[in-house]
């Protein structure tokens, strides 16, 4: 148990400190790197409570794909060079009350959820049949996700698909005068399309028209 | 005291895995250069040691004694972290590769997901190196490779789903044992081909080495690196290639299983078969480098998103329907 708590506190301290550093660091790219560190330590915590599937999916989806896109955007926008003076400026103080309200709301919600879970477990519809069945984590998740919650699961998939198509439609535009290469044309090009052999009479030459 | 003995036991096991991996990375660099040379009718490195075997060690020694130059306008912490991240990620993935039914450092339930996660983290070493150098060629190389690796990961993920449909488990040893009757390379041959090509793109090997295309980008994300830090990138890249070969042989070539379960083959222990399969795949990697010209960037993206992704998705549907129709789905 000692080793367990040592690991738990190490990962959670790293997670909390890096979460604070995400908002506190002046350089936006550093913020994203701290966010990645946060994701990694949280997936370590997931693995520690036995949710190995969730931990690995967290690594693959958030760190392997989402955070890469974050980094992409942040690097492209070139905000790294701007020193973040927002904290010191006048209009930051206007946003502080809003931020405080939202964070208090989240805090209260978390307390309600965790407290309710702790003191009134029968309030929550936790499927006990799976815990007793002694199947692997991935198996149990699949059994719940593809039976009881199949509609919710499919709807969330559809929402993501719609969001993706929407993003593509919004950014897609036809520009005139852009030269593109058609790979079908390039591959199907034959020797006869480019080269023709002519017998050139001396002192007359060949007229090439185009 | 108990913890200490567990700790030292594990350290001993890890060293027993990592030292051979590092040595074989050095040998494999030599093999790559030799194969490349033979295809082009050259000799290749043949001077240092017998057959030039010690060439890589000589090179690594040279890098070790060279000065490490850190550009003054670079972001120093991230600049130094980048090669460390690359090397570490290339090495930690070996923890789950099964060398035989019992010889595996950690036999976890989600082995294949772990490998996939680690290989998707590999892009960070390159992005960090490219960004922290604070210069245009490394940055362009990093952006290119990030887009490339993220694109090809998608098709690798779908290919892994194909294999998992046939196995019914995420454990690597179960994947190997499921291939006792027939290696997955035979029923899933198109997936094997796509996996191989995606692995080339994932490890930035020719013909997909656009992140370091020397004609356009000097050396891509490695441009500002020198000395031991460059060598770490270089060795990490080869460790990654070996890892992709290992994943390929576990997923498709039956891992540590012997090709035929008859007398002379069964005498050879499992690890030897796995190493032979890894070497076979690596020879293919080396040959491709020597034979194929470099892709153009738009062709690379087209191949990943418009060819490989649809084909592997359709193949998932085919595999699933086949297994479902003939009642072969591995349900326990």
Residue B168: closest CA among A139, A153, A146, A141: A139
The answer to whether position B38 is within a domain reads: no
- The tens digit of pLDDT for each residue in B151-163 reads 888 889 999 999 9
Query: Do B109 and A52 make contact, defined as CB atoms within 8 angstroms?
Result: yes
- Assign B318 a pLDDT band (cuts: 50, 70, 90): very high
Min Cα distance B165 → chain A (Å) is 13
What is d(CA B166, CA B93) in angstroms, rounded to the nearest whole number?
23
Residue B70: closest CA among B61, B80, B60: B80
Same domain (yes/no): A13, A34: yes
Same domain (yes/no): A156, A119: no
The answer to whether position B199 is within a domain reads: yes
The answer to whether position A113 is within a domain reads: yes
Question: Which DSSP symbol is given to B102?
Answer: S
The answer to whether position A183 is within a domain reads: no
The percent of residues above 90 in pLDDT, for chain A, comes to 20
The answer to whether position B14 is within a domain reads: no
Higher pLDDT, B51 or A40: A40
pTM of the model: 0.83
Domain with residue A25: its CATH number is 1.20.120.1200
Residues of B with CB below 8 A from A184's CB?
Answer: none
Rounded-to-10 torsion of CA B27, B29, B32, B38: -80
The answer to whether position A109 is within a domain reads: yes
Higher pLDDT, B3 or A145: A145
The answer to whether position B147 is within a domain reads: yes
The answer to whether position B241 is within a domain reads: yes
Min Cα distance A49 → chain B (Å) is 14
Same domain (yes/no): A136, A118: no
- Assign A78 a pLDDT band (cuts: 50, 70, 90): low
The percent of residues above 70 in pLDDT, for chain B, comes to 99
Identify from A51, A56, A62 which residue to disrupt to test chain B contact, counting B C-beta atoms within 10 A and taking the largest count: A56
The answer to whether position A210 is within a domain reads: no
Q: What is the pLDDT of residue A159?
A: 95
Under 8 Å CB pairs connecting chains A and B tally to: 64
Q: What is the pLDDT of residue A107?
A: 92
- The tens digit of pLDDT for each residue in B284-304 reads 988 998 888 888 888 888 888
Q: Cβ neighbours of residue B332 under 8 Å, at least 6 residues apart?
A: B168
Query: Domain total for chain B?
Result: 1
Query: Which chain A residue lies closest to B121 (C-alpha atoms)?
Result: A64
Q: What is the pLDDT of residue A171?
A: 87
Q: What is the pLDDT of residue A132?
A: 52
The answer to whether position A165 is within a domain reads: yes
Computed over every residue of chain B, the mean pLDDT equals 86
The range of the structural domain enclosing residue A36 comes to: 7-82
Assembly ipTM: 0.81
Residues of A with CB below 8 A from B3's CB?
Answer: 3
Query: Do A29 and B123 make contact, defined as CB atoms within 8 angstroms?
Result: no
What is d(CA B310, CA B318) in angstroms, rounded to the nearest whole number?
12
Higher pLDDT, B8 or B213: B8
- Assign B311 a pLDDT band (cuts: 50, 70, 90): very high
Same domain (yes/no): A72, A59: yes
Question: Which residue among B117, B127, B131 sits closest to A60, beta carbon to beta carbon?
Answer: B117
Q: Per-residue pLDDT averaged across A77-101, rounded?
A: 66
Looking at mean pLDDT, say which of B182-186, B307-311, B324-328 comes out highest.
B307-311
The answer to whether position B197 is within a domain reads: yes
Residue B120 touches chain A, beta carbons under 8 Å: yes
Q: Is pLDDT above 60 for B206?
A: yes
A124-128, B224-228, B287-291: segment of lowest average pLDDT? A124-128
Residues of B with CB below 8 A from A68's CB?
Answer: 123-124, 127, 146, 150
- The tens digit of pLDDT for each residue in B22-69 reads 888 888 888 888 888 889 888 888 888 788 888 888 888 888 888 888
The answer to whether position A104 is within a domain reads: yes
The answer to whether position B35 is within a domain reads: no
In three state form, how does the secondary structure of B136-171 look?
HHHHHHHHHHHHHHHHHHHHHHHHHHHHHHHHCCCC
The answer to whether position A204 is within a domain reads: no
As given in the structure block, the two tokens for residue B100 are 């035989």
Residues of B with CB below 8 A from A36's CB?
Answer: 124
Query: Do A72 and B302 make contact, defined as CB atoms within 8 angstroms?
Result: no
- Assign A13 a pLDDT band (cuts: 50, 70, 90): very high
Q: Is pLDDT above 80 for B82?
A: yes
Q: What is the pLDDT of residue A134?
A: 67
Q: What is the pLDDT of residue B60?
A: 85
The range of the structural domain enclosing residue B221 comes to: 69-325
Chosen domain end from A82, A112, A143? A82
- The tens digit of pLDDT for each residue in A83-92 reads 555 555 566 6
- Assign B314 a pLDDT band (cuts: 50, 70, 90): very high
Residues of A with CB below 8 A from B299's CB?
Answer: 183
- Assign A104 a pLDDT band (cuts: 50, 70, 90): very high
Q: Is pLDDT above 60 for A208?
A: yes
Query: Domain total for chain A?
Result: 3
The answer to whether position A190 is within a domain reads: no
Residue B139 touches chain A, beta carbons under 8 Å: yes
Chosen domain end from A19, A53, A82? A82
Q: Is pLDDT above 80 for B265?
A: no
Alpha-carbon torsion (B80, B85, B90, B94), positive or negative? positive
Residue B295 touches chain A, beta carbons under 8 Å: no
Residue B99 touches chain A, beta carbons under 8 Å: no
Listing DSSP states for B261-284 in one string gives: -SHHHHTS-HHHHHHHHHHHHHHH
Q: What is the pLDDT of residue B195?
A: 92
């Amino acid at each position: 148990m000692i080793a367990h708590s040592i690991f738990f506190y190490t990962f959670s301290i790293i997670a909390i400190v890096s979460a604070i550093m995400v908002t506190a660091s002046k350089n936006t790219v550093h913020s994203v790197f701290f966010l990645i560190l946060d994701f990694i330590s949280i997936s370590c915590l997931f693995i520690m409570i036995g949710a190995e599937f969730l931990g690995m999916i967290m690594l693959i989806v958030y760190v392997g794909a989402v955070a890469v896109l974050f980094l992409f955007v942040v690097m492209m926008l070139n905000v790294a060079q701007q020193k973040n003076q927002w904290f010191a400026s006048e209009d930051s103080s206007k946003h502080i009350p809003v931020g405080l309200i939202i964070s208090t709301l989240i805090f209260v919600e978390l307390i309600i959820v965790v407290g309710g879970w702790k003191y009134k477990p029968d309030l929550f519809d936790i499927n006990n049949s799976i815990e007793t069945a002694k199947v692997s984590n991935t198996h149990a998740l699949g059994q719940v996700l593809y039976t009881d919650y199949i509609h919710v699961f499919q709807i969330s998939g559809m929402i993501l698909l719609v969001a993706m198509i929407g993003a593509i439609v919004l950014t897609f535009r036809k520009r005139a005068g852009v030269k593109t290469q058609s790979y079908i044309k390039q591959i199907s090009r034959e020797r006869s399309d480019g080269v023709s052999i002519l017998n050139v009479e001396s002192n007359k030459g060949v007229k090439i028209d185009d | 005291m108990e913890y200490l003995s567990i700790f030292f036991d594990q350290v001993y096991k890890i060293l027993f895995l990592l030292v051979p991996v590092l040595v074989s990375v050095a040998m494999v660099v030599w093999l790559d250069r030799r194969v490349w040379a033979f295809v082009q009718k050259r000799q290749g490195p043949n001077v240092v040691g017998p057959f030039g075997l010690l060439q890589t060690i000589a090179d690594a020694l040279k890098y070790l004694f060279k000065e490490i130059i850190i550009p003054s306008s670079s972001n120093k912490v991230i600049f130094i972290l980048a090669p460390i991240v690359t090397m570490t990620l290339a090495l930690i993935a070996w923890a789950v590769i099964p060398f035989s039914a019992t010889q595996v450092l950690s036999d976890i339930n989600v082995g294949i997901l772990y490998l996939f996660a680690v290989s998707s983290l590999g892009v960070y070493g390159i992005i960090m190196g490219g960004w922290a150098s604070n210069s245009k060629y490394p940055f362009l190389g990093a952006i290119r490779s990030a887009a490339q690796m993220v694109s090809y990961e998608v098709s690798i993920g779908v290919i892994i789903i194909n294999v998992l449909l046939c196995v019914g488990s995420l454990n690597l040893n179960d994947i190997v044992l499921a291939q006792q009757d027939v290696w997955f390379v035979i029923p899933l041959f198109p997936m094997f081909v796509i996996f191989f090509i995606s692995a080339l793109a994932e490890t930035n090997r020719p013909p997909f080495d656009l992140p370091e295309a020397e004609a356009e980008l000097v050396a891509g994300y490695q441009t500002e690196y020198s000395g031991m830090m460059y060598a770490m990138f270089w060795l990490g890249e080869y460790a990654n290639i070996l890892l992709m070969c290992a994943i390929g042989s576990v997923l498709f070539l039956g891992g540590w299983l012997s090709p035929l379960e008859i007398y002379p083959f069964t005498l050879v222990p499992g690890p030897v078969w796995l190493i032979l399969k890894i070497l076979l795949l690596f020879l293919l990697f080396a040959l491709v480098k020597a034979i194929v010209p470099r892709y153009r960037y738009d062709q690379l993206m087209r191949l990943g998103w418009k060819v490989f992704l649809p084909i592997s998705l359709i193949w998932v549907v085919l595999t699933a329907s086949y297994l479902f129709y003939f009642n072969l789905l591995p349900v326990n």
